Amino acid sequence: MSTSTQAPTPAGPDPAPRPAAAERGDSIGARALRAVLTQRITLLAVLIVVVVLSYVALDAGGYLTAPYDPDYLSASLINAVPLAMLALAELLVILSGRGGIDLSVGAIVALSGMVFGFMYGQWGWPLWLAVVATAGFGALCGALNGFLVAYIGFPALIATLATFYAFKSLAIVVNQQSPISTPPIQELYSLTRSVEIPVIGGQIPDVPLGIFTFLLPTVLIVWLLLARTTYGRRLYAVGTNDVASLWAGQPVRATRFGAYALAGLISGLVAVVTVAQFASARPDAGVSGNGMALPAITIAVLGGVAITGGIGRVAGVVLATLLIVWLNAGILLAFVGNEGSQYQLLALGVVLVAAALLNGFAGRRYGVAD
Amino acid sequence: MTTTAPPTSPRPTRRARVLPPPIAGQELVLVAVIALMWVVLALTTPAFASAGSIQPLLVATAPIALAGIGMTIVIITGGIDVSVGGMMMVCAVVTAKALVAFELALPLALGLSVAVGGLLGLVNGLLIAYGRVHAIIITFGTMNVFLFVGLQIFASRTVNGIPSTLQFFGRGVAGRTLGVPHAFVLTLLIAAIAWWYLRHTAGGRHFYAIGGDAQAARLAGIDVRGRILAAYVVTGLLVGLASCFLIAQGTSSLDQSVGNGKELAVIAAVVIGGTSIMGGRGSVLGTVLGALLVQTVTSGVTQLGWPSQLSDLFVGIFIIVAVGADLLRERARRRRLRAKGAAA
């Protein structure tokens, strides 16, 4: 419903003169405000700086239970790996438009994790083969979503709600509710250790290995896919207006199908990461508590992905993940016990609602819907 | 929507067009499926057909169906509310703590829970109606906030020693009259009122109009914001009542898992009941049947001695089948309309 009129003369019952003035934007302050309010990347970058600086200040004042220093920030990045990857999966799906959303990613993580547990932990497959097969299995699960949504015409919310239930149930039943934690699986925990970066490693803190083995490749590939390939442009086109894309001769169904299958593939990779983190293939990984899907969608939306499709960038998602991970890391230090994890919920909720409202406000103030 | 109806007898044809039949195809199918499942379960597991098995099933259906009535209205307006689980947690823990601390009487406990639910619904409604942000984003956010509030009130401890004030809606003998659980009767009563309101009053039709096309509804003079606000507040009120049922069904203690994942169960009941997630179409009757179906599956799987988690698989399959059937019917209807349009 948001008006996306780029023109300085807004169409509407009350033509406010302010957008026109902001368009010229002579003063630096006004221009900076405009950039922060209308460009999600700028806003997120500013927020990250604010969050980190305020924690550093709190730390200096002695209010935190442990130092909030570069080492801690770097170590907490391990939490960003699954979060950012699933948020990228949601980015692809939400971009594809027509109410695109994937509630089932957490359940795919759980089910693929069990499959990985069988292949690597019990059947003794080589690691690379097991990882590839798990990613393939995840893609298969995603393809089921894609088939239902793109070819049969199910609303995405419903199709993925149904597969969420189905995958979650299968994950629990497949090994009689028990986790797989044989020695090879337990040894995977070494994947989560921190490593020193060569050459410049002396000056900066060690970085969790998972960042290099899983997160960065995913980020890079998704970015290349969206920004540098025909498929990416097609996905934006389909998400913006699928009827127009169809008439422009684009393979709308295949494009949308691909988004869901890719989301499944990424979820399969996340399954490997979670198995390594827990040192065990747990049937309830990804669906316990609030699950993994809802935080991932939250991060994607916070990163500026429009729920209506066609708008969203990889950089926004990555920055939103950093913001939430570092915000949460600080909260853990600021509160004792499980108070911290509760305040993380509050922070996530407030940040999401505030960002969404700000989006709407900025859209009306400047006549630009981000 | 200008149909070139013959001007001979405008009144009866128009009336027939405006309102769908009182019981839609989806609901008949659901009744048939539930009946079939009950017969099969009764034949395969002798314990199922007994009152001791049916009564808990009806009691357990009540909270999902009740919250589903609100969710139906919300989804009819084209919105969605994923914060239902969080709301249930807050309502349940507030009511349980108040029961322990002040030994409230039954009406007061109900009133408190419903009021808290209404307040939370108001928060959702205000943000969605006036913030002009899609409902799913707002309720994702408020879900987290509600969970925070609920967990804070829990203060890391389960609430113990809840008095049996709410037994009137519980599983026990006190919760039944002539063998029929009160919770289920009250749910049916509220469903009947909601059904009549949505179908036969102008205010109720406004919800459908908004879901069909909010812009057109606004231009037709409907108070779109007020109606949307009302939908979320009603959902909150009903969730408040449903939370009382949840407390009543439990033991004398309440832990932090209350309401966990209930939003998806409620949405599942609504979509199985034939309400279109796109808005503008749906019925409360279907939602109650959908909730009954989900609960029958859950109960049936347990009684057959299968792993209880398998019931989720069947719920997923039912969602696909129910919505898939609806999609096919809708497609056929559109094709018929197009054929008619081409012929005219």
- Burial environment of residue A15 by CB neighbours within 10 A (0 to 12, 13 to 18, 19 or more): exposed
Chain A residues lying within 8 Å of B215, measured CB to CB: 1
B310 touches chain A (CB under 8 A): yes
Least confident range of A103-112, B12-21, B134-143:
B12-21
**Residue A360 — pLDDT band, cuts 50, 70, 90?**
confident
The mean pLDDT value for B141-152 works out to: 88
Helix (H, G, I), strand (E, B) or coil at B177: strand
Query: Given an 8 Å threshold on Cβ–Cβ distance, is A346 in contact with B278?
Result: no
Least confident range of A82-91, A300-309, B234-243:
A300-309
| A303 min Cα distance to partner chain B (Å) | 13
**Residue A6 — pLDDT band, cuts 50, 70, 90?**
very low
**Averaged pLDDT of chain A:** 83
Residues within 8 A of A (CB atoms), B 40-79 only: none
Asked if residue B60 has pLDDT above 60, the reply is yes
Chain B residues lying within 8 Å of A154, measured CB to CB: 320, 323-324, 327
Does A341 or B25 have the greater pLDDT score? Answer: A341
| B69 min Cα distance to partner chain A (Å) | 18
- Round to whole Å and give the CA distance between A96 and A217: 22
What domains appear along chain A, each with residue ranges and CATH number?
Answer: 69-193+202-366 (1.10.3470)
B25 touches chain A (CB under 8 A): no
Do A313 and A319 touch, CB atoms closer than 8 A?
A: no
Instruction: Please enumerate in sequence order all residues whose Cβ is within 8 A of that of A328, keeping only pairs 6 or more positions apart, or say none.
Output: A76, A79, A344, A347, A348
| A204 min Cα distance to partner chain B (Å) | 35
Most confident stretch, A292-301, B70-79, B127-136? B70-79
Q: Number of C-alpha atoms within 13 angstroms, CB side, residue B150? A: 32
Query: Given an 8 Å threshold on Cβ–Cβ distance, is A154 in contact with B278?
Result: no
Within 10 A of B275 (CB to CB), how many other CB atoms are there?
30
For domain B24-38+45-330, give its CATH number from 1.10.3470, 2.60.40, 3.30.160, 1.10.287. 1.10.3470
| A298 min Cα distance to partner chain B (Å) | 7
Q: Give the end-to-end CA distance of chain A in Å, rounded to a whole number.
A: 13
The mean pLDDT value for B67-73 works out to: 92
Most confident stretch, A116-130, A202-216, A329-343, B38-52? A116-130
pLDDT of residue A286: 67
pLDDT of residue A199: 66
Helix (H, G, I), strand (E, B) or coil at A195: strand
Query: Given an 8 Å threshold on Cβ–Cβ distance, is A294 in contact with B140?
Result: yes
Which candidate from A297, A348, A357 shows the least CB-CB separation from B131?
A357
Tokens 């990779």 -> residue: A269
| B297 min Cα distance to partner chain A (Å) | 13
Query: Given an 8 Å threshold on Cβ–Cβ distance, is B319 in contact with A338?
Result: no
Query: Given an 8 Å threshold on Cβ–Cβ distance, is A157 in contact with B80?
Result: yes
The mean pLDDT value for A52-58 works out to: 88
**Averaged pLDDT of chain B:** 82
- Round to whole Å and give the CA distance between A358 and A351: 10
Concatenating the DSSP letter of every residue in B302-330 gives HHTT--TTHHHHHHHHHHHHHHHHHHHHH
Query: Given an 8 Å threshold on Cβ–Cβ distance, is A353 in contact with B80?
Result: no
Which candidate from B80, B140, B215 shows the least CB-CB separation from A297?
B140
- DSSP letter (8 states) at residue A188: G
Amino acid at A240: T
Query: Given an 8 Å threshold on Cβ–Cβ distance, is B264 in contact with A356?
Result: no
Query: Given an 8 Å threshold on Cβ–Cβ distance, is B307 in contact with A177?
Result: yes
B298 touches chain A (CB under 8 A): no
- Written as six digits, the tokens of A72 are 């801690």
Chain A residues lying within 8 Å of B281, measured CB to CB: none
B151 touches chain A (CB under 8 A): yes
The mean pLDDT value for A57-83 works out to: 84
- Written as six digits, the tokens of B96 are 């349980």
| A67 min Cα distance to partner chain B (Å) | 26
Mutation for B interface: A165, A170, A173, A308, most B CBs within 10 A: A165
Which candidate from B132, B146, B315 shows the least CB-CB separation from A165?
B315
B161-176, pLDDT tens digit by residue? 777 777 777 777 667 7
- Round to whole Å and give the CA distance between B331 and B313: 27
Percent of chain A with pLDDT over 70: 88
Which candidate from A155, A168, A359 shows the least CB-CB separation from B312?
A168
Query: Given an 8 Å threshold on Cβ–Cβ distance, is A352 in contact with B152?
Result: no
- Written as six digits, the tokens of B333 are 């209807």
Does A4 or A77 have the greater pLDDT score? Answer: A77
Chain A residues lying within 8 Å of B146, measured CB to CB: 349
Do A114 and A175 touch, CB atoms closer than 8 A?
A: yes
| B12 min Cα distance to partner chain A (Å) | 35
Chain B residues lying within 8 Å of A173, measured CB to CB: 307, 309-310, 313
Q: Number of A to B CB contacts under 8 A, please give it.
A: 142
Which candidate from B141, B277, B313 shows the least CB-CB separation from A356?
B141
Asked if residue B225 has pLDDT above 80, the reply is yes
Which candidate from B132, B140, B313 shows the least CB-CB separation from A170?
B313
Which candidate from A2, A162, A352 shows the least CB-CB separation from B141?
A352
B321 touches chain A (CB under 8 A): no
| B58 min Cα distance to partner chain A (Å) | 22
pLDDT of residue B109: 86
Query: Given an 8 Å threshold on Cβ–Cβ distance, is A155 in contact with B278?
Result: yes
Residue of A nearest to B321 (CA): A162
B133 touches chain A (CB under 8 A): yes
B200 touches chain A (CB under 8 A): no
Query: Given an 8 Å threshold on Cβ–Cβ distance, is A353 in contact with B132?
Result: no
pLDDT of residue A281: 84
Listed by start position, the domains of chain B span: 24-38+45-330
Please state the pTM of the whole predicted model. 0.83
